[in-house]
Amino acid sequence: MIELADQFFVLSKQQILLLMPVAAQPLASVLLSIIPIIGVFATLFALTTVLERKGLGRIQNRLGPNRVGPFGFLQPLADGIKSLTKEDVVPFRTDGVLHFLAPVLVMVAALLAYSVLPLGRNMVALDLDAGVLFFFAVGASTELAVFMAGWSSRNKYAMLGAMRAIAQMISYEIPLILSTVGVLMTAGTLSTTGIVEAQSGYSGLLPNWYVLTPWGFAGFFLFLIAATAEANRSPFDLPEGESEIVAGYFTEYSGFKFAMFFFGEYLGLFAANALAITLFLGGWNSPLAILDWVPSYVWFFAKLMGLIGLSIWVRGTTPRMRSDQLMNFAWKFMLPMSLVNVLAAGLWRFTGHGFLGWFVCGSLVAGSYCWLGVELSTKNSLKKRVYRFAT
């Protein structure tokens, strides 16, 4: 029974496939993997937009949207209808093809990333041997889409936004990838399912998740910070800083194309969070041995909702960074920390998983964190501004 509940979607896919003629089976198998992913994550996107607005509202002592449908939960539907029926304004001088392709490419890249994310036990669309690499390769092509959007708009704000976004994405891609290296080293595989399986089981009461190791803990937060920067979310949302450059690279997009950018951005965020779950939070594994009967996908989506909630919370808290702070943070803090983290993960392999390992790796990570933090915050703190011309 528990087994059936856990494998319900896998088994039902197999049953549906058996009903199909043999010739149609490969195509049907692909479609049966793709359509649920798109459907589920589109729904999650809709839910997240309204939850985010309500959450941000509560953080700012407001109510948030509460008009459309019960408690405002049909708001995304209304927004969707609005963006579908809006006029699609394309400025006169735009580079037509690129202007059209950019939002498509953003969405395609974001959706492709889901093909290697295990959503539950045996629930992965494409179990690649190099799954994590595939994820990052697909993520890298988003930069090109952003450039296309910014450049083809023939708009200075769009161009500036695109340049900021690309500079930020390239800078944060390095700590993003380096922070996963520890996990890849320890799990010994690049396959996402392999990494999740390496984290199954329990040592004592606690699960064998990588976040519960000193290097994994640091790596998890490094990954989350870098993923937030990759997804252009607050506090790293200066590519679309509306007080400076209108809306960044999608200034010249309206109607459904704008909605596609929006959708792609959220899909990227979900994908990054899902990868964080896969790499550090044990994927579909349950946190306690006695809760093993809960279906695996429930755990996955519970963790995903938790991380989405965290990102909403962070967005509601942090102010936007300045451009030089952003770059300094990436190159002077994130990069050294992730390198130290790789070293700590290597040491963890040899010091054993007991007290010694905790002491050595923990003090290495915490020490470098404190040292870097003190160093950066004292040496590069803002001095009293000296004006050359104004008195």
Partner 1 sequence: MLGTGLIKGMAETARNFVGSYFEADRLTTVQYPEERVPVKEAARSFPFLVFDGEDPEKGLRCVACQICEKECPPQCILIVKDTAKKPDFVGKMQFQPKIFDIDLSVCMSCQICVEVCPFEAIKMDVDFEMSRFDRFEGLLIHKRELSKSNGHFQKIHPTDAAAVDANLAAEKAKAEAKAAAEAGAKAKAAATAAAATIAAGAGAAAGTPATKPGIALPAAPAVPTSKPPTSPALPLTMPGQPTTAPAAISFVS
Partner 2 sequence: MNLDLAILSLLIGASAVAAITLRDLVHCVLCLAVTFAGLAAVYLRLGAEFIAFSQVLVYIGAVAILALFVVLLTRTGEIENQSRFSLQKLAPLAVCGLVFTGLAGAAWSSSLRGSQESVAASIRLRDVGRELMSAYVLPLEVLGLLLTAALIGAAILAQTEEPNEVENPNGASSHPPAKPH
| Number of residues that this document lists for the chain | 391
Q: Mind giving me the DSSP string for 217-235?
A: HHHHHHHHHHHHHHTT-TT
Q: Name residue, tokens 């040292």.
A: 371
As measured in angstroms, the least distance from the Cβ of 300 to partner 1 is 25
* Residues 109 to 148 in contact with partner 2, rule: CB under 8 A: 128-130, 133-134, 136-141, 143-144, 147-148
d(CA 347, CA 208): 18
d(CA 165, CA 159): 10
C-alpha pair distances (Å), 346 with each of 24, 66, 193, 363, 380: 48, 51, 22, 14, 31
Give the residue among 153, 149, 150 at the shortest CA–CA distance from 93: 153
Give the residue among 373, 351, 370, 371 at the shortest CA–CA distance from 361: 351
Region from 60-68, 97-105, 268-276, 298-306 binding partner 1, contact rule CB under 8 A: 60-68
Task: Answer with the entry of partner 1, partner 2, none that 377 interacts with (C-beta below 5 to 8 A by kind).
Answer: partner 1
Region from 141-149, 259-267, 308-316, 336-344 binding partner 1, contact rule CB under 8 A: 308-316
State phi, psi for 321 to the nearest 5 degrees: -80, 160
Cis peptide before 235 (omega within 30 of 0): yes
Task: Answer with the entry of partner 2, partner 1, none that 318 interacts with (C-beta below 5 to 8 A by kind).
Answer: partner 1
| Residue 63 near partner 1 by CB under 8 A | yes
Q: Quick one: 64 or 139, whose CB is closer to partner 1?
A: 64
Q: Quick one: 96 or 373, whose CB is closer to partner 1?
A: 373
Which position among 15, 23, 60, 385 is part of the footprint of partner 1 (CB under 8 A)? 60
| Residue 35 near partner 2 by CB under 8 A | no
Which position among 302, 314, 335, 347 is part of the footprint of partner 1 (CB under 8 A)? 314
Q: Do 357 and 351 contact (CB within 8 A), yes or no?
A: yes
Number of residues lying near partner 2 (CB under 8 A): 25
Q: Contact residues for partner 1 (CB under 8 A)?
A: 55, 58-63, 313-314, 316-318, 369-370, 373-374, 377
Q: Contact residues for partner 2 (CB under 8 A)?
A: 98, 128-130, 133-134, 136-141, 143-144, 147-148, 151, 163, 166, 170, 173, 188-190, 388
